Every structure is written in C-alpha cells, then in structure tokens.
Amino acid sequence: MPPILKYVLRRLLVVPITFFLVTAALYGVIMLTPPETRAQLYLSGGRMDTQQALQRAIDRIIEERGLDDPYPVQYSRWVSNVLRGDWGWSPVQNDDVLRVLLRRTPATAELTLYSILLLAPLGLASGVIAGWKENRRPDHIFRSLAFVATSVPPFILGLILLTIFYAGLRWFPPGRLGLSEQALVRSSSFKTITGLLTIDGLLNGEAGVSQEALRHLVLPVVTLSLAHWATLGRVTRSAIIEELGKPYIVAARGRGLSTRRTIWFHALRNALLPALNSSALSAASLVTGVFVVEVVFAFPGVSEPITNSLAHLPDTAMAMGFAVYSVMVVLPLMLILDVLQVFVDPRMREGGVGG
C-alpha cells in the first residue's frame, strides 16, 4: 500500500476514535447530575397537584428513559441515537435538535468560509513579506499589527468595530440581511440552492441580496479572521526566516534566480508545512470563535439556538447537540488539514514522517 494512502487511512481511523472519546467524556459530565434532576427536564411544564404526583412522574420518566442505568448502557443508547440522527427534542426551540442546527448551518458555514478565504492568503503573504524584510519597516509594521490582533479578544474587537462602523458611520450593520432583503429571501420566488446568501442571491438573479449579504459579513469576517491571520502570519514569518538561511536558497541565488522568485516559489513551499500545522492546531479555536462572533453581531448561525436555550429553560438536549455538532465540525476540518500536509511535505508522501 502506498505510504500516502496508509497515512490517510490512519488519520481516518483516528476520527471515529476521537469522536467516541470526546462524546463519552461529554456524556460523563451529564451523568454527574442525579437522575431525578435530569428527569425533571422531561416534564412538560404542567403543574402537579401534589408532591407525590410530581415524584411519581419523575420516577416514571427515570424508568421509561433508563436514567438510572449504568453509564455504559446510557452512553451506548445515547450515542446510537445520535448516529441515527436522533439528537433529542429541544423544549425551548420546540423542534428536533439536529434539525435546528442544520437549519442554521449555512449561515455559520458562510461566515467561516469567507473568514478562511481572507485570513489564509493574507496570513501567508504578510508572513512571507515580514520574513523577507526581517527587521525592516514591513516586518516592524506586521509585528505591531499582529501583537494588537492577538491581544484584543474577538468579542471586544467586535464591539469596537460595531461602535465605529455601525453606530458611528452606519456602514456595516449587524445581522445577516436587511429587512427588505429578508422578505425577498423568505418569499416563494427566491430559491435556496446552497444556503449561502452571497451565492444564492446571484443564482436567483438578485444581486442586491448578494451585495447586502456581503455588507453584513464584513465586520464579523474581519473580527473572526484577525487573530488567526496574526497567528498564521507569525508562523509563516518564522518559517521563511529559517528557510532563507538554508543552503538550497543560497544555491538558487547562485544560479541567478531572483530573490522574489526564490522566496515565493521555493522558500514558501517549505514554509507551508509549519503553517498548516499551526492551522490544524487552531481549528478548534476557529470554530469556537465563529460562535462568539455570531453572538456579538447577532448573526443567525448555529450559536443562536444554544444562546436562546441557555437564556430560558435548562435545555440538555440542545447543549449536548451543540457540543456534538462542534466536535463533528472540528474533526473533519483537522482531517482535511492533516491530509493537506501530506501533499505539501514529500517526506510524508514517501512514508518518512508522520507514520
């Protein structure tokens, strides 16, 4: 079997193992709550005539749902339901948990997609330029901006940007669309094809919807991207500085290659591996950052149902569903980044590294 295929298969095997370990730990936290307390979450909310009636209802729920079964039995039953698509019922949302999360996934995906499209090229380009111009003005400017970007928490940065560009200048409003565009999108004439409004607007011949969706994305995308841009740029800068001192760079220059070509076509190729390693490590923080940014900018993504649920009743099903959803987003993202490393690093393709 080719080394690259063996590497990919091993990484694929890690995904379900990690999923079961993480979800087992999450469910173990829920199991710390007494069965009587968890049973009360299933009550319809109607008032009981007596304390005895309430206790009988609780005992019935514990028996019907097996809330006093051993942990392995309860976890197996729960994870089996999750894998079948039964993530439970949210009393706050009055809907199936999985259906609620999937309905809001396109908004979160659109915000994440444009953030990655912004931070990845800018992070690589700024890191390369800073490493190339080490200890000169471009490098000083980059390091100063990167320091600020990593020092300001996303929710603080979001509030600052809202104050300046929405409350002050009225340029970029929160939310996902304006009122007139929302009415158009909800009408029967507008067809949802991808769920991404910037694309669906064009596919429906409504350029105004795409333009308005982009305008609403500006501030959340910048807020989400800034810290990750700084991290990626710093790693790329360090890698470029290291690569520029290696013999193959000296040899390339000796053959008459221009400095620009040597850096962008040779040094950058080898600097991509640490950049991808950094991106894989920050995948979880990127997903977490998306949820924080959605709350700050009232962006109707996946974070909306969980924040609504926490503000009202204890909604265990939604809380667990949100946690599982986050894990199921992070694991494939890290897998993709791991596979990309194989194509970047020839040693991995040949089986010399990462076995």
Total number of domains in the chain: 2
What pLDDT does 51 receive? 76
Note whether 153 and 261 are same-domain residues. Answer: yes
Return the beta strands (E) in the chain as ranges.
89-90, 95-96
More confident residue, 344 or 246: 246
pTM assigned to the model: 0.85
Tell me which residue range forms the domain holding 68: 33-84
What pLDDT does 37 receive? 79
The strand pairing partners of 95, in sequence order, are 90
Residue ending a domain, among 84, 107, 124, is 84
11 is a domain residue? no
57 is a domain residue? yes
Closest CA to 299 of 193, 187, 133, 154: 154
193 is a domain residue? yes
Note whether 152 and 244 are same-domain residues. Answer: yes
Residue ending a domain, among 21, 49, 84, is 84
- Dihedral angle, C-alpha 39, 43, 48, 54, nearest 10 °: -10
pLDDT in tens, 283-329: 778 888 898 999 999 999 999 888 887 766 667 788 889 989 999 98
Compute the distance between CA of residue 278 and CA of residue 230 in angstroms, rounded to an integer. Answer: 11
Compute the distance between CA of residue 144 and CA of residue 222 in angstroms, rounded to an integer. Answer: 17
Note whether 41 and 146 are same-domain residues. Answer: no
pLDDT in tens, 199-217: 999 999 999 999 999 999 9
Q: Which whole number is the average pLDDT over 18-43?
A: 84
Note whether 53 and 152 are same-domain residues. Answer: no
Average per-residue pLDDT in the chain? Answer: 85
Note whether 191 and 44 are same-domain residues. Answer: no
17 is a domain residue? no
Closest CA to 314 of 22, 38, 24, 107: 38
Residue ending a domain, among 84, 114, 146, is 84
- Dihedral angle, C-alpha 300, 184, 109, 127, nearest 10 °: -100
18 is a domain residue? no
Note whether 45 and 141 are same-domain residues. Answer: no
